[in-house]
Protein backbone atom coordinates (compact mmCIF):
# COMPACT_ATOMS: atom_id res chain seq x y z
CA UNK A 1 0.00 0.00 0.00
CA UNK A 2 2.80 2.36 0.86
CA UNK A 3 4.83 1.53 -2.23
CA UNK A 4 1.90 2.14 -4.53
CA UNK A 5 1.20 5.47 -2.78
CA UNK A 6 4.79 6.55 -3.32
CA UNK A 7 4.89 5.48 -6.97
CA UNK A 8 1.56 7.11 -7.74
CA UNK A 9 2.57 10.35 -6.06
CA UNK A 10 5.88 10.44 -7.91
CA UNK A 11 4.25 9.75 -11.28
CA UNK A 12 1.44 12.28 -10.86
CA UNK A 13 3.84 14.94 -9.60
CA UNK A 14 6.29 14.24 -12.40
CA UNK A 15 3.67 14.74 -15.11
CA UNK A 16 2.34 17.87 -13.40
CA UNK A 17 5.84 19.32 -13.00
CA UNK A 18 6.73 18.58 -16.61
CA UNK A 19 3.58 20.31 -17.88
CA UNK A 20 4.05 23.34 -15.61
CA UNK A 21 7.69 23.78 -16.60
CA UNK A 22 7.13 23.27 -20.34
CA UNK A 23 4.12 25.58 -20.48
CA UNK A 24 6.17 28.28 -18.75
CA UNK A 25 3.87 28.50 -15.73
CA UNK A 26 6.89 28.34 -13.41
CA UNK A 27 8.37 31.62 -14.65
CA UNK A 28 8.51 34.49 -12.18
CA UNK A 29 7.80 37.20 -14.83
CA UNK A 30 4.76 35.22 -15.95
CA UNK A 31 3.22 35.05 -12.49
CA UNK A 32 3.96 38.70 -11.76
CA UNK A 33 2.88 39.65 -15.28
CA UNK A 34 -0.49 38.05 -14.63
CA UNK A 35 -0.90 39.80 -11.27
CA UNK A 36 -0.04 43.08 -13.02
CA UNK A 37 -2.80 42.23 -15.52
CA UNK A 38 -0.41 42.32 -18.48
CA UNK A 39 0.46 38.70 -19.32
CA UNK A 40 -2.49 36.33 -19.18
CA UNK A 41 -0.95 33.03 -20.29
CA UNK A 42 -1.30 31.51 -16.80
CA UNK A 43 -4.91 32.64 -16.48
CA UNK A 44 -5.77 31.16 -19.89
CA UNK A 45 -3.98 27.94 -18.94
CA UNK A 46 -5.85 27.71 -15.62
CA UNK A 47 -9.28 28.51 -17.01
CA UNK A 48 -8.79 26.01 -19.86
CA UNK A 49 -7.94 23.35 -17.28
CA UNK A 50 -10.95 24.37 -15.16
CA UNK A 51 -13.45 24.23 -18.06
CA UNK A 52 -12.18 20.87 -19.26
CA UNK A 53 -12.00 19.20 -15.85
CA UNK A 54 -15.30 20.76 -14.71
CA UNK A 55 -17.10 19.01 -17.57
CA UNK A 56 -15.24 15.72 -17.03
CA UNK A 57 -15.74 15.71 -13.22
CA UNK A 58 -19.46 16.28 -13.43
CA UNK A 59 -19.87 13.92 -16.38
CA UNK A 60 -18.17 11.06 -14.49
CA UNK A 61 -20.03 12.17 -11.37
CA UNK A 62 -23.36 11.76 -13.13
CA UNK A 63 -22.30 8.29 -14.25
CA UNK A 64 -21.64 7.50 -10.59
CA UNK A 65 -17.94 6.84 -11.22
CA UNK A 66 -16.63 9.51 -8.90
CA UNK A 67 -17.95 11.76 -6.19
CA UNK A 68 -17.14 15.45 -6.07
CA UNK A 69 -16.95 16.70 -2.48
CA UNK A 70 -17.49 20.47 -2.45
CA UNK A 71 -15.49 22.66 -0.07
CA UNK A 72 -17.71 24.54 2.34
CA UNK A 73 -17.52 28.28 2.82
CA UNK A 74 -16.22 29.55 6.15
CA UNK A 75 -14.26 32.67 7.07
CA UNK A 76 -11.03 30.75 6.58
CA UNK A 77 -11.60 30.81 2.81
CA UNK A 78 -11.53 34.59 2.23
CA UNK A 79 -9.05 35.39 5.03
CA UNK A 80 -6.73 32.49 4.16
CA UNK A 81 -7.19 33.34 0.48
CA UNK A 82 -6.04 36.92 1.01
CA UNK A 83 -3.00 35.78 3.03
CA UNK A 84 -2.14 33.20 0.38
CA UNK A 85 -2.57 35.72 -2.45
CA UNK A 86 -0.36 38.29 -0.74
CA UNK A 87 2.26 35.59 -0.18
CA UNK A 88 2.07 34.60 -3.84
CA UNK A 89 2.62 38.23 -4.86
CA UNK A 90 5.60 38.61 -2.52
CA UNK A 91 7.16 35.29 -3.52
CA UNK A 92 6.24 35.33 -7.22
CA UNK A 93 5.02 31.76 -7.56
CA UNK A 94 2.65 29.30 -5.91
CA UNK A 95 3.35 26.02 -4.02
CA UNK A 96 3.16 23.62 -6.99
CA UNK A 97 5.32 25.74 -9.25
CA UNK A 98 7.71 26.26 -6.31
CA UNK A 99 8.48 22.53 -6.27
CA UNK A 100 8.93 22.46 -10.06
CA UNK A 101 11.26 25.48 -9.79
CA UNK A 102 13.48 23.57 -7.36
CA UNK A 103 13.89 20.96 -10.11
CA UNK A 104 14.62 23.66 -12.66
CA UNK A 105 17.59 24.65 -10.50
CA UNK A 106 16.24 27.90 -9.01
CA UNK A 107 17.87 27.65 -5.60
CA UNK A 108 15.79 30.21 -3.70
CA UNK A 109 12.76 27.92 -4.13
CA UNK A 110 14.37 25.50 -1.63
CA UNK A 111 14.16 28.23 0.99
CA UNK A 112 10.53 28.82 0.01
CA UNK A 113 9.84 25.09 0.42
CA UNK A 114 10.78 25.23 4.09
CA UNK A 115 9.08 28.61 4.53
CA UNK A 116 5.80 27.12 3.25
CA UNK A 117 6.12 24.18 5.65
CA UNK A 118 6.89 26.61 8.48
CA UNK A 119 3.75 28.56 7.58
CA UNK A 120 1.66 25.42 8.07
CA UNK A 121 3.42 24.84 11.40
CA UNK A 122 2.46 28.39 12.46
CA UNK A 123 -1.11 27.57 11.42
CA UNK A 124 -1.02 24.47 13.62
CA UNK A 125 0.15 26.55 16.58
CA UNK A 126 -2.69 29.06 16.09
CA UNK A 127 -5.40 26.50 15.32
CA UNK A 128 -7.29 26.90 18.62
CA UNK A 129 -8.27 30.59 18.30
CA UNK A 130 -8.65 30.21 14.52
CA UNK A 131 -11.09 27.34 14.92
CA UNK A 132 -13.09 29.22 17.52
CA UNK A 133 -13.47 32.30 15.34
CA UNK A 134 -12.90 31.85 11.59
CA UNK A 135 -13.92 28.23 11.27
CA UNK A 136 -16.85 28.14 13.70
CA UNK A 137 -19.53 28.73 11.09
CA UNK A 138 -19.77 27.25 7.65
CA UNK A 139 -22.04 27.40 4.68
CA UNK A 140 -22.59 24.31 2.54
CA UNK A 141 -20.29 24.61 -0.48
CA UNK A 142 -22.60 22.74 -2.84
CA UNK A 143 -23.48 25.53 -5.24
CA UNK A 144 -26.05 23.43 -7.11
CA UNK A 145 -28.06 22.76 -3.99
CA UNK A 146 -27.74 26.41 -3.04
CA UNK A 147 -28.98 27.74 -6.38
CA UNK A 148 -31.55 25.00 -6.78
CA UNK A 149 -31.23 24.85 -10.55
CA UNK A 150 -30.18 22.09 -12.92
CA UNK A 151 -26.52 21.13 -12.45
CA UNK A 152 -25.65 21.27 -16.16
CA UNK A 153 -27.19 24.70 -16.54
CA UNK A 154 -24.75 26.05 -13.94
CA UNK A 155 -21.85 24.17 -15.54
CA UNK A 156 -22.73 25.54 -18.99
CA UNK A 157 -22.98 29.09 -17.63
CA UNK A 158 -19.64 28.81 -15.79
CA UNK A 159 -17.93 27.30 -18.87
CA UNK A 160 -19.31 30.07 -21.06
CA UNK A 161 -18.12 32.73 -18.61
CA UNK A 162 -14.60 31.26 -18.36
CA UNK A 163 -14.41 30.84 -22.16
CA UNK A 164 -15.47 34.47 -22.59
CA UNK A 165 -12.70 35.62 -20.22
CA UNK A 166 -10.14 33.54 -22.15
CA UNK A 167 -11.29 35.00 -25.47
CA UNK A 168 -11.33 38.51 -24.11
CA UNK A 169 -7.78 38.48 -22.70
CA UNK A 170 -6.47 36.45 -25.63
CA UNK A 171 -7.64 39.02 -28.14
CA UNK A 172 -6.34 41.93 -26.10
CA UNK A 173 -2.97 40.71 -24.85
CA UNK A 174 -0.38 38.81 -26.85
CA UNK A 175 1.57 36.01 -25.08
CA UNK A 176 4.88 37.14 -26.52
CA UNK A 177 4.50 40.64 -25.10
CA UNK A 178 7.27 41.83 -22.79
CA UNK A 179 6.01 43.12 -19.48
CA UNK A 180 9.16 43.98 -17.59
CA UNK B 1 20.79 16.48 -23.94
CA UNK B 2 18.06 18.25 -25.81
CA UNK B 3 15.29 15.82 -26.68
CA UNK B 4 12.16 17.91 -26.26
CA UNK B 5 12.65 20.44 -29.04
CA UNK B 6 9.16 21.88 -28.89
CA UNK B 7 8.78 25.58 -28.19
CA UNK B 8 7.11 26.55 -24.93
CA UNK B 9 3.75 24.76 -24.92
CA UNK B 10 0.60 26.63 -25.80
CA UNK B 11 -1.74 27.40 -22.89
CA UNK B 12 -4.51 25.35 -24.51
CA UNK B 13 -2.34 22.21 -24.71
CA UNK B 14 -1.00 22.70 -21.19
CA UNK B 15 -4.46 23.39 -19.76
CA UNK B 16 -6.06 20.32 -21.31
CA UNK B 17 -3.12 18.13 -20.24
CA UNK B 18 -3.50 19.32 -16.64
CA UNK B 19 -7.26 18.70 -16.66
CA UNK B 20 -6.74 15.11 -17.83
CA UNK B 21 -4.13 14.62 -15.12
CA UNK B 22 -6.37 16.06 -12.43
CA UNK B 23 -9.35 13.89 -13.40
CA UNK B 24 -7.23 10.73 -13.83
CA UNK B 25 -5.55 11.20 -10.45
CA UNK B 26 -8.97 11.62 -8.81
CA UNK B 27 -9.85 8.07 -9.88
CA UNK B 28 -6.49 6.60 -8.89
CA UNK B 29 -6.44 8.49 -5.58
CA UNK B 30 -9.89 7.13 -4.77
CA UNK B 31 -8.87 3.55 -5.49
CA UNK B 32 -5.64 3.54 -3.48
CA UNK B 33 -6.55 5.85 -0.59
CA UNK B 34 -10.10 4.54 -0.26
CA UNK B 35 -11.90 7.86 -0.54
CA UNK B 36 -12.09 10.90 -2.77
CA UNK B 37 -9.15 13.18 -2.21
CA UNK B 38 -8.71 15.80 -4.88
CA UNK B 39 -5.25 16.19 -6.41
CA UNK B 40 -3.43 18.71 -4.23
CA UNK B 41 -0.13 20.11 -3.10
CA UNK B 42 -0.67 21.72 0.29
CA UNK B 43 -0.97 18.52 2.31
CA UNK B 44 2.50 17.49 1.07
CA UNK B 45 3.95 20.55 2.77
CA UNK B 46 1.65 19.73 5.69
CA UNK B 47 3.37 16.35 5.97
CA UNK B 48 6.77 18.08 6.21
CA UNK B 49 5.31 20.46 8.84
CA UNK B 50 3.92 17.49 10.79
CA UNK B 51 7.30 15.74 10.77
CA UNK B 52 8.98 18.90 12.07
CA UNK B 53 6.16 19.45 14.57
CA UNK B 54 6.74 15.94 15.96
CA UNK B 55 9.90 17.27 17.62
CA UNK B 56 7.80 19.55 19.83
CA UNK B 57 5.95 17.71 22.62
CA UNK B 58 3.48 20.61 22.95
CA UNK B 59 2.21 19.84 19.43
CA UNK B 60 1.68 16.12 20.03
CA UNK B 61 -2.11 16.43 20.20
CA UNK B 62 -2.41 19.28 17.73
CA UNK B 63 -5.27 18.48 15.29
CA UNK B 64 -3.47 20.04 12.30
CA UNK B 65 -0.25 18.10 12.95
CA UNK B 66 -2.21 14.89 13.45
CA UNK B 67 -4.28 15.40 10.32
CA UNK B 68 -1.23 15.93 8.10
CA UNK B 69 0.88 13.34 9.89
CA UNK B 70 -1.62 10.47 9.82
CA UNK B 71 -3.79 10.72 6.70
CA UNK B 72 -2.64 8.86 3.58
CA UNK B 73 -3.34 11.80 1.26
CA UNK B 74 -0.64 13.93 2.92
CA UNK B 75 1.87 11.12 2.45
CA UNK B 76 0.92 10.78 -1.24
CA UNK B 77 1.12 14.55 -1.72
CA UNK B 78 4.61 14.58 -0.24
CA UNK B 79 5.64 12.35 -3.14
CA UNK B 80 3.68 14.51 -5.57
CA UNK B 81 6.06 17.27 -4.43
CA UNK B 82 9.08 15.06 -5.04
CA UNK B 83 7.63 14.19 -8.46
CA UNK B 84 7.16 17.89 -9.23
CA UNK B 85 10.83 18.52 -8.51
CA UNK B 86 11.81 15.63 -10.80
CA UNK B 87 9.36 16.75 -13.50
CA UNK B 88 10.70 20.31 -13.42
CA UNK B 89 14.26 18.98 -13.56
CA UNK B 90 13.56 16.67 -16.50
CA UNK B 91 11.65 19.35 -18.43
CA UNK B 92 14.44 21.88 -18.02
CA UNK B 93 17.09 19.32 -19.03
CA UNK B 94 15.29 17.89 -22.05
CA UNK B 95 14.24 21.25 -23.43
CA UNK B 96 17.56 22.97 -22.75
CA UNK B 97 15.89 25.75 -20.77
CA UNK B 98 17.97 25.32 -17.63
CA UNK B 99 19.51 28.45 -16.20
CA UNK B 100 21.73 29.07 -13.21
CA UNK B 101 19.40 31.83 -12.03
CA UNK B 102 18.91 31.96 -8.27
CA UNK B 103 17.05 35.23 -7.69
CA UNK B 104 14.64 36.11 -10.55
CA UNK B 105 16.30 38.43 -13.10
CA UNK B 106 13.26 40.73 -13.09
CA UNK B 107 13.50 41.09 -9.32
CA UNK B 108 17.20 42.04 -9.57
CA UNK B 109 16.44 44.67 -12.20
CA UNK B 110 13.78 46.39 -10.12
CA UNK B 111 14.82 45.67 -6.55
CA UNK B 112 18.60 45.30 -6.70
CA UNK B 113 20.84 42.27 -6.35
CA UNK B 114 20.88 42.08 -2.54
CA UNK B 115 20.41 38.39 -1.79
CA UNK B 116 19.47 39.13 1.81
CA UNK B 117 16.61 41.41 0.75
CA UNK B 118 15.20 38.88 -1.71
CA UNK B 119 15.56 36.03 0.80
CA UNK B 120 13.64 38.01 3.42
CA UNK B 121 10.82 38.42 0.89
CA UNK B 122 11.02 34.70 0.04
CA UNK B 123 10.80 33.71 3.71
CA UNK B 124 7.88 36.04 4.51
CA UNK B 125 6.10 35.24 1.25
CA UNK B 126 6.39 31.50 1.66
CA UNK B 127 5.30 31.52 5.32
CA UNK B 128 2.20 33.49 4.27
CA UNK B 129 1.68 31.03 1.42
CA UNK B 130 1.75 28.12 3.87
CA UNK B 131 -0.48 29.78 6.44
CA UNK B 132 -2.98 30.96 3.83
CA UNK B 133 -3.12 27.61 2.06
CA UNK B 134 -3.73 25.78 5.33
CA UNK B 135 -6.41 28.26 6.44
CA UNK B 136 -8.26 28.30 3.10
CA UNK B 137 -7.73 24.52 2.81
CA UNK B 138 -5.95 24.54 -0.52
CA UNK B 139 -3.50 26.34 -2.76
CA UNK B 140 -3.89 27.30 -6.41
CA UNK B 141 -4.03 23.63 -7.35
CA UNK B 142 -6.56 22.58 -4.72
CA UNK B 143 -8.77 25.63 -4.74
CA UNK B 144 -8.68 26.70 -8.42
CA UNK B 145 -7.65 23.76 -10.63
CA UNK B 146 -9.77 21.41 -8.47
CA UNK B 147 -12.15 23.62 -6.50
CA UNK B 148 -13.29 25.82 -9.37
CA UNK B 149 -13.77 22.72 -11.54
CA UNK B 150 -15.96 21.25 -8.80
CA UNK B 151 -17.71 24.64 -8.54
CA UNK B 152 -17.24 24.54 -4.76
CA UNK B 153 -18.47 27.71 -3.13
CA UNK B 154 -15.57 27.83 -0.65
CA UNK B 155 -12.98 27.44 -3.41
CA UNK B 156 -14.55 30.08 -5.64
CA UNK B 157 -14.32 32.62 -2.80
CA UNK B 158 -10.76 31.55 -1.88
CA UNK B 159 -9.61 31.70 -5.53
CA UNK B 160 -10.92 35.23 -6.03
CA UNK B 161 -9.15 36.31 -2.84
CA UNK B 162 -5.87 34.80 -4.15
CA UNK B 163 -6.08 37.10 -7.15
CA UNK B 164 -7.32 40.15 -5.26
CA UNK B 165 -4.45 40.13 -2.76
CA UNK B 166 -1.88 39.05 -5.36
CA UNK B 167 -2.83 41.88 -7.70
CA UNK B 168 -2.59 44.43 -4.86
CA UNK B 169 0.88 43.22 -3.82
CA UNK B 170 2.16 43.08 -7.42
CA UNK B 171 1.12 46.70 -7.91
CA UNK B 172 3.03 47.75 -4.81
CA UNK B 173 6.17 45.83 -5.84
CA UNK B 174 6.05 46.91 -9.49
CA UNK B 175 4.23 50.25 -9.68
CA UNK B 176 5.78 50.86 -13.10
CA UNK B 177 7.11 48.39 -15.66
CA UNK B 178 9.35 49.22 -18.58
CA UNK B 179 8.29 46.62 -21.14
CA UNK B 180 11.91 45.51 -21.59
CA UNK B 181 13.28 42.21 -22.83
CA UNK B 182 13.76 39.98 -19.81
CA UNK B 183 11.54 37.00 -19.96
CA UNK B 184 12.95 34.26 -17.80
ipTM of the complex: 0.96
Residues 6+ apart with CB under 8 A from B175: none
Position B29 scores a pLDDT of 83
CA B89/CA A105 separation, integer angstroms: 7
DSSP state of A94: -
Position B51 scores a pLDDT of 95
CB-CB neighbours of B181 under 10 Å: 7
Evaluate if residue B180 carries a pLDDT over 80.
no
Position B5 scores a pLDDT of 66
Evaluate if residue A67 carries a pLDDT over 60.
yes
Q: What percent of chain B lies above the pLDDT cut of 90? A: 77
pLDDT band (50, 70, 90) for residue A74: very high
CA proximity to A84, closest of B39, B147, B131, B121:
B131
Distance of CA A80 to the CA centre of its chain: 14
> CA of A61, closest CA in chain B: separation in Å?
10
β-bridge mates for residue A139, sequence order: A73
Question: What's the mean pLDDT in A105-118?
Answer: 97
Position B2 scores a pLDDT of 63
Say how many CB pairs under 8 Å bridge A and B: 518
**Closest CB from B98, B139, B156 relative to A104:** B98
A:25-44 residues touching chain B, CB 8 A cutoff: 25-29, 32, 35-38, 41-42, 44
CA A61/CA B62 separation, integer angstroms: 35
Position B71 scores a pLDDT of 84
Instruction: Give the model confidence (pLDDT) of B98-147 as tens digits.
Output: 887 889 999 999 999 999 999 999 999 999 999 999 999 999 999 999 99
Tell me if the pTM is above 0.90.
yes
* Ramachandran assignment for B12, one of left (phi > 0), alpha (psi -120 to 50 degrees), beta (any other): alpha
Residues 6+ apart with CB under 8 A from B130: A87, A115, A116, A117, A118, A119, A120, A121, A122, A123, B45, B49
Position A1 scores a pLDDT of 61
Position B181 scores a pLDDT of 53
Evaluate if residue B152 carries a pLDDT over 90.
yes
Would you list the DSSP string of B115-132?
A: HHHHHHHHHHHHHHHHHH
Distances (CA, A) of B101 to A19, A101, B28, B98, B136: 20, 11, 36, 9, 32
Residue B48: closest C-alpha in chain A: A117
Confirm if B94 and A49 have CB atoms less than 8 A apart: no
Residues 6+ apart with CB under 8 A from B102: A106, A107, A108, B115
CA B18/CA B170 separation, integer angstroms: 26
Show residues of chain B in contact with A160, CB under 8 Å: none
CA proximity to A102, closest of A116, A90, A89, A87:
A116
Amino acid sequence: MTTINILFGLAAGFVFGYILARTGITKYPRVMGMLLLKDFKILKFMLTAVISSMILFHFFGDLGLLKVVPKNLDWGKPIGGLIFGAGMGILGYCPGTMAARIGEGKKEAILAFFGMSAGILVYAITIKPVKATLLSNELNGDIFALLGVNRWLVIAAAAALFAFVIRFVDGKFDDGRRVF
Amino acid sequence: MRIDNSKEWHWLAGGIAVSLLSVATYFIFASIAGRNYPFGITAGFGYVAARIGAFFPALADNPVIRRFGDKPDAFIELFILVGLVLGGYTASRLSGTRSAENIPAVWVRYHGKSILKRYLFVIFGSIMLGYGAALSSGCTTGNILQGWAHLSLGSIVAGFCFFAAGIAVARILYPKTEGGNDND
